[in-house]
Each structure stands twice: as structure tokens, then as C-alpha cells.
Amino acid sequence: MMPKVLIRIFFCSILVLFIIQCSGSKKVLDISKEEKEVFNQNTRDTVIIENDSLEYEIIIMEIGFNTWLQSIAKPRGYYTQNYMENRNRIYVMNWNQRVLEPSRFDPNLYELQINYDSNIDYGYEVNYKLYNYFIYFQRKYNQRLGPFAPRIN
């Protein structure tokens, strides 16, 4: 008789932990009024991410991103290159996976794969702009490309 009680308590405990974990992962992002205004812009922004020595280029044609990068994002030097490279690896991996699953993820959001090789040193500027694009994208479209919330504060 005792083992059944322990099993029920154990399963109830797991159920409670699961419910708490699920409810905790749905944290709503704190988006400022200024950031909402940038997200609602209509002017086309084009940001080119490039490293001439590596012949590497990404062109981001996302309305509001350049304005967000200049006014909302943390300034250059705030994050280390190593920090951004680690985050970019995770973001790129999840992004590319979503591109390959258009029935599960909006193909209008995830159109093209990103060719990011973690063995290549793209430099600070490429990593800075790519990292910030991922933060911008996640915040604007309420997406999660990694296990951490896309914060700017």
C-alpha cells in the first residue's frame, strides 16, 4: 500500500514541477514605447553585414532594424565578441532548422538559411550586427531562437 502512495506523490510532484516550468517559460517581453514605435515603422531599412577580408556579406532588408540598431540596441563594446559568437551559433542553428520546417514555422519569417561557420572569425562588427538582428527579430515577432529571453536591458 505504501509504494502506491509514494508513486502518486512522486507523479503529482513531477506534474506540479512541469506546470510551473511551462508557465515560467511564457514570460512576456518588456517592450518599451520607443521600441514599439520602431517596430511599427514603415520606412525600409537596409543593413549590410560584411567582412571584406573573408568575402562574407549578409544584407538585412528589415523595416526598422537600422533605427533599432542605432537607438535601442546596446552599443558596440557592450558585449564581447565571444559572447555574441556563442549566442549567434545557437540562434543560427535554430533559425536554419526553422527554415527547413515551413509547415511548422512561418516561411515568411524564416525564408533563407544563414551560412555561419563557428570555426571562422567573422570579426566583431559582423557578430555585433548579426547578434542584434536576432534580438530585434525575436522581440519584434515574439519568437524564441534559444533557451534565453531576447533582452536588451
Q: What single DSSP character describes residue 53?
A: G
pLDDT number for residue 4? 55
Is the Cβ–Cβ distance between 98 and 150 less than 8 Å? no
Reported as a pLDDT band with limits 50, 70 and 90, residue 58 is confident
* C-beta separation of 76 from 124 below 8 A: yes
What pTM was estimated for this model as a whole? 0.75
pLDDT in tens, 9-41: 544 444 444 444 444 444 457 888 888 888 887
One-letter identity of residue 69:
L
**CB-CB contact of 143 with 137 (8 Å):** yes
Distance CA 103, CA 117 (A): 26
